[in-house]
Structure 1
Amino acid sequence: MTDQTRELTDAQFAAAEALGARLYAAGYTEPYLRQFWGGPVSDALARNNSAPALHHCRRVLDERVREVLGAGGTAGIRVTADTGVTASDPQFPELSAEERLAAIAVTFWLKEALPAVVLAAALGDDSYAAARDLGLVEEVRPDGVNLRARAPFALTPYDLPVGVPRGLRPGDENLYLVADHGTLTSPEVLDGDFVLGLGGAGRTLVTLTPREHVSVACDIGTGCGIQALLLARHADRVIATDISARALHLTALSAGLAGVRTIELRQGSLLDPIDEPVDLLVSNPPFVITPRTTAAEAVIPDFEYRDGGMSGDRLVRELFAAVPGVLAPGGRAVCLGNWETTADSADGPEVWVEDPETSVLVIEREALDPVAYAETWIRDGGIPRASADWDAATAEWLDDFASRNVTGIVFGYVLLHRADNDSSSLSPAEAEPRPDARPAVRERVRITSATATNPHGISAFLTTVEALRTWLAATGDEEFATTAFTRSPDLVEHRHHVPGESDPSSITLEQGIGFGQVFDLDTALAGFVSVADGTLTLRQTAAALAQLLDVDPTALEAQLTAQVRTLVAAGALLPGDS
Structure 2
Amino acid sequence: MPTPPPAAPPRPLPHLLPALRSDLRAADYSVARAEEVLGPVAVGALRREDPAPARRVLAARTDAFSVLYALFTLGARPPRPALEQALPALTVDGAIALGLVREEADGTVAAQVDLSPYAASDDLGEIRWWIASDLSELATGAPLHPDHVLGVGGASLTLARITPRRRVDSVLDLGCGGGIQAMHASRHARRVVATDLSARALAFAGFTAALNGIEIELREGSLLDPVAGETFDLVVSNPPFVITPRGEESAYTYRDGGRAGDTLLAALLEELPAHLAPGGTAVMLGNWEISTGAAWDEHPRAWFAPAIADGVHAWVVQRDREDPAAYAATWARDGGVTTRDARWEPLIGAWLDDFEARDVEGIGFGYLLLRRPARPTTARLVAEEVHGTGSGTLGAHMGESLDALEHLADLGDEELLASRPVRAEDVVERRHLTPGAWDPMLIELVQGGGLARAVPLSQTLAATVGACDGTLTLGQIISAVCALTDADEAQVRAEETGRLRELVRTGMLQL
Give the TM-score band, short-chain normalised.
over 0.9
Query: After the TM superposition, which residues 411-450 of structure 1 pair with which residues of structure 2 at under 5 Å, given as runs?
Result: 411-421=365-375, 437-449=376-388
Q: Which has the larger radius of gyration?
A: 1
The correspondence for 1:554, drawn from 485, 490, 499, is 490
Query: After the TM superposition, which residues 39-50 of structure 1 pair with which residues of structure 2 at under 5 Å, given as runs?
Result: 39-50=40-51
Partner of 1:26: 27
2:210 match: secondary structure: helix
2:287 match: secondary structure: strand
Query: After the TM superposition, which residues 517-528 of structure 1 pair with which residues of structure 2 at under 5 Å, given as runs?
Result: 517-528=453-464
Partner of 1:472: 408
CA contact (8 A) 2:288 2:364 kept: yes
Once residues 144 and 426 of structure 2 are traced to their aligned partners in structure 1, the CA distance between those partners, rounded to angstroms, is 45
Partner of 1:311: 260
Once residues 120 and 7 of structure 1 are traced to their aligned partners in structure 2, the CA distance between those partners, rounded to angstroms, is 19
Query: After the TM superposition, which residues 194-209 of structure 1 pair with which residues of structure 2 at under 5 Å, given as runs?
Result: 194-209=148-163
Q: Which amino acid aligns with 1:265?
A: L
Partner of 2:82: 118
CA 125–462 in structure 1, closer or farther in 2 if over 3 Å, else same: closer
The correspondence for 1:396, drawn from 335, 350, 364, is 350
Q: Which amino acid aligns with 1:155?
A: L
CA contact (8 A) 1:16 1:253 kept: no
The correspondence for 2:431, drawn from 486, 495, 519, is 495
Q: Deviations over 1:253-297 (max 9, x none)?
A: 11121012x2121111111111432222111011111112xxx43
Q: Deviations over 1:374-397 (max 9, x none)?
A: 111111111121544211111111
CA contact (8 A) 2:23 2:90 kept: no
2:17 match: secondary structure: helix
The correspondence for 1:347, drawn from 285, 298, 323, is 298
CA 127–555 in structure 1, closer or farther in 2 if over 3 Å, else same: farther
CA contact (8 A) 1:370 1:406 kept: yes
Query: By how many angstroms is 1:185 displaced?
Result: 3.3
1:37 match: secondary structure: helix
Partner of 1:157: 117
Once residues 352 and 503 of structure 1 are traced to their aligned partners in structure 2, the CA distance between those partners, rounded to angstroms, is 44
Partner of 2:3: none
Query: By how many angstroms is 1:335 displaced?
Result: 1.1
Once residues 481 and 301 of structure 2 are traced to their aligned partners in structure 1, the CA distance between those partners, rounded to angstroms, is 37
CA 127–504 in structure 1, closer or farther in 2 if over 3 Å, else same: farther
Q: Which amino acid aligns with 2:367?
A: Y
Once residues 324 and 127 of structure 1 are traced to their aligned partners in structure 2, the CA distance between those partners, rounded to angstroms, is 49
Once residues 237 and 7 of structure 1 are traced to their aligned partners in structure 2, the CA distance between those partners, rounded to angstroms, is 24
CA contact (8 A) 2:8 2:99 kept: no
CA 502–186 in structure 1, closer or farther in 2 if over 3 Å, else same: farther
Q: Which moved more, 1:25-34 or 1:197-206?
A: 25-34
CA contact (8 A) 2:401 2:507 kept: yes
2:65 equivalent to 1:58: no
CA 32–318 in structure 1, closer or farther in 2 if over 3 Å, else same: same
Once residues 152 and 70 of structure 2 are traced to their aligned partners in structure 1, the CA distance between those partners, rounded to angstroms, is 18
Q: Which amino acid aligns with 1:530?
A: G
1:114 match: secondary structure: coil
Q: Which amino acid aligns with 2:60?
A: R
CA contact (8 A) 2:23 2:86 kept: no
CA 5–229 in structure 1, closer or farther in 2 if over 3 Å, else same: farther
Gaps of 5+ in 1: 62-98, 167-172, 422-436
Q: Which moved more, 1:333-342 or 1:349-358?
A: 349-358
Once residues 11 and 374 of structure 2 are traced to their aligned partners in structure 1, the CA distance between those partners, rounded to angstroms, is 38
Q: Which amino acid aligns with 2:226?
A: P
Partner of 1:88: none
CA contact (8 A) 1:17 1:259 kept: no
Once residues 500 and 170 of structure 2 are traced to their aligned partners in structure 1, the CA distance between those partners, rounded to angstroms, is 38
Partner of 1:326: 275
2:366 equivalent to 1:409: no
1:411 match: secondary structure: strand
CA contact (8 A) 1:155 1:176 kept: yes
The correspondence for 1:266, drawn from 219, 242, 253, is 219
The correspondence for 1:367, drawn from 302, 321, 329, is 321
2:370 match: secondary structure: strand
Once residues 484 and 214 of structure 1 are traced to their aligned partners in structure 2, the CA distance between those partners, rounded to angstroms, is 30
2:99 equivalent to 1:135: yes
What is the CA RMSD across the aligned residues, in angstroms?
Answer: 2.1
2:61 match: secondary structure: helix
Q: Which amino acid aligns with 1:211?
A: R
Query: By how many angstroms is 1:8 displaced?
Result: 5.2
CA contact (8 A) 2:163 2:398 kept: no
2:198 equivalent to 1:247: no
Q: Which amino acid aligns with 2:110?
A: R
Q: Which amino acid aligns with 2:31?
A: E
Q: Which amino acid aligns with 1:188?
A: A
CA contact (8 A) 1:350 1:361 kept: no
Partner of 1:301: 250
CA 393–126 in structure 1, closer or farther in 2 if over 3 Å, else same: closer
Partner of 2:4: none
CA contact (8 A) 2:377 2:409 kept: no
Q: Work out the number of aligned pairs and report it.
A: 499
Query: By how many angstroms is 1:470 displaced?
Result: 2.0
Partner of 1:460: 396
CA contact (8 A) 2:50 2:138 kept: yes
Query: By how many angstroms is 1:348 displaced?
Result: 3.4
TM-score of the two chains, using structure 2 as the length reference: 0.92
Query: By how many angstroms is 1:557 displaced?
Result: 2.3
1:193 match: secondary structure: coil
Partner of 2:107: 147
Q: Which moved more, 1:497-506 or 1:16-25?
A: 497-506
CA contact (8 A) 2:10 2:204 kept: no
Q: Which moved more, 1:562-571 or 1:492-501?
A: 492-501
Q: Deviations over 1:338-397 (max 9, x none)?
A: 111213564233432414132211111112221211111111111121544211111111
TM-score of the two chains, using structure 1 as the length reference: 0.82
Once residues 164 and 188 of structure 1 are traced to their aligned partners in structure 2, the CA distance between those partners, rounded to angstroms, is 39
Query: By how many angstroms is 1:58 displaced?
Result: 0.6
CA contact (8 A) 1:228 1:240 kept: yes
CA contact (8 A) 1:161 1:207 kept: no
- Percent sequence identity over aligned pairs: 39
Once residues 180 and 532 of structure 1 are traced to their aligned partners in structure 2, the CA distance between those partners, rounded to angstroms, is 54
